[in-house]
Structure 1
C-alpha cells in the first residue's frame, strides 16, 4: 500500500466504525448496503482486495470494488442478515462465512490491520449451498 493509499484508507476508516472482530465486517456490510453507503462498503476492504461479484467477475482494488457497489446499491436491494458462522482465525488472518437467507454461502478472508481492526482481502459473496 502506498503512503497516499494509506492516508485515503485512514480518512475513510475514520468516517465509519471499524471492525474490531472479523464478523463485524458482515454486519457492517448489511447495514451499509441497506443504507446505500457505497463509501462505507468500500471501507470494509483493503485497498488491493479482490471481490468475486457479480458471479463470474472479479473486481480488484478500491476503484473497481466501488464500481461494483455503485451498481449494486443503485438497484436498492434490501438485505436481510443471514446466519454468520464463527470465524476461523489464525494469526492475523480470518476466514469468515455466512449462510444467506436464500441458502447461498459467502466466504471471505479478513486480515487484522496494524491498529487491530479487520478488513476483507478476498470476498466470495455467492457460493451455492
Structure 2
C-alpha cells in the first residue's frame, strides 16, 4: 500500500486524535510517528513506555502487524494553557489522555500519550 509521506499537521490539538484513527486504520506507521515530538513518551501498557520516535515506531509496527481496526471515540475539547494542551477521548472501557505542544510552525504534536486510562 502506498502511503503519503507528506502528512498534514494538526492545526488544533484535537486534530491529533482524528489523524491517529485515520493513519492507524491504513497502517501508516510513519504518519503515526509524525504525530509525536522527537522525544515524546508513549505509555505502551503495564508501566512500559516508548520514548522517542524510534521506540514509538517499533511499538506501532508491532501493534499494527495484525491490522487491527480503530474506531473513533468521543473527542473532548482540549484544555489549553499557552503552548500546551491536554487532549482526551472517551473510548469503550476508558479514556485516553495526551499532552500536546504547539510547534514553531503553529501545528500541534503529542509530547505525552497515555492511550488507556480509567479502564
Task: Looking at secondary structure, tell me which structure has more strand per residue.
Answer: 2
Residue of structure 2 aligned with 1:44, choices 35, 46, 56: 35
DSSP 3-state at the match of 2:47: coil
For the residues of structure 2 that align with 1:96 and 1:103, how far apart are their CA atoms?
18
Aligned residues: 115
Deviation (angstroms), 1:103? 2.5
For 2:81, the equivalent position in structure 1 comes to 90
The question of 1:106 aligning with 2:96 is answered: yes
For the residues of structure 1 that align with 2:34 and 2:112, how far apart are their CA atoms?
13
Q: TM-score, normalised by structure 1?
A: 0.86
Q: TM-score, normalised by structure 2?
A: 0.93
Deviation (angstroms), 1:72? 0.8
Gaps of 5+ in 1: 1-13
Task: Looking at secondary structure, tell me which structure has more helix per residue.
Answer: 1
DSSP 3-state at the match of 1:41: helix
RMSD: 1.1
Q: 1:55 to 1:40 in 2, by over 3 A?
A: farther
The question of 1:35 aligning with 2:31 is answered: no
Find runs of 4+ consecutive structure 1 residues off by over 6 angstroms. none
For the residues of structure 2 that align with 1:123 and 1:82, how far apart are their CA atoms?
16
For 1:26, the equivalent position in structure 2 comes to 17
DSSP 3-state at the match of 1:125: strand
DSSP 3-state at the match of 1:19: coil
